[in-house]
Structure 1
């Protein structure tokens, strides 16, 4: 069972295989996980195994922690490439998300104006106008799209909301008019006796067709890198990821691969 949880509001910096030197921001409780998805590959574990008893950090606490960390990094001559909202679940679930993004932009400009701000989101809160507007203010708005099939989304991502579906998600992603990065996890394996594989020719064709409508400025594809809470999941090889990437590149998309 995966046991990676972040016990602080600010963590790192770490070297991200996708983002460079990344300073992490966790807007979720530090003693468990809070997420609107229950992804079978999540490094934080499954929701039911990571119940939390603590409160969310406040907007003031997040700002104070970020100021303290960036001041220290500045004094040590360590510059982040990006300040990344990730952590123990879905960051956009925080009720003060919009204000926290505003604070982070101002704090970033004070200490490291060249650093980008990124949010890794599962795309479930895009219907909230405050979340949508906040994500439009940052440099790297990274939104999840693991499949265009509702059955596969339920299998891989297990949304908390039974109404979450691809058609509504696609409409929300298109609202950004290309100012977003699409992130897709590719994997294979088995769960509860069911076969899992979102790399089939038909699924990749549907995925590329969705990209044509979304028009993202970049596409990040990746596979399993750490222990997963559900067993019998398999990495997709770097060679196979490159084949998928080339299909999208031929359509004009900027695709990065993390194998």
Structure 2
């Protein structure tokens, strides 16, 4: 796929011998952020002419991609990893890939919004602000500015309610979900990094093929977890029974 390099923020001629202020104006990235990206290793240091630092087209293109990736939610470490693996010839394609990845590519449920009061009522008053904060920190729900709560996985909420019906206190249920979230986050990061490393090893990136691969990765990843967890659960149960025998 022959997508041109990431364009700069406007249609001015190619950046040559720009001061940091001129580069900021051209790309729409603040001087402060340009310096921060340079310190973080995402941007090469400027060429010096006496005490004046001068920037060129490579800096403008890198900043355009950094800004796009940051807008799509990518962190500094993820962007550094991309620059370390992807040649400049594929930067333009990375924009399309980033937009695909930052959408709801992996989401399988539609979140629902409930009031904090109704959520507390479901748990007979057990849902305290502290427990809600823990669930939000684990990434299972989100507190909205208007005081309502967004359940990111309604099905997971139903599982929690069923556990409560079995007599488990809400604090224990949230503790179980926190452990599950940490473990699955580690698995997800490994899967995604493996996919990303594979996609960034070539000299060109087919954005359409990449989006298709990522979309197929979701059911494969969830299927693998669903298949492995019962086996591991039984093994751990056997081990627990063996220790208490």
Measured against the shorter chain, the TM-score band is under 0.3
More helix, by proportion: 2
Higher strand fraction (1 or 2): 1
Structure index of larger Rg:
2
Question: TM-score, normalised to structure 2's length?
Answer: 0.23
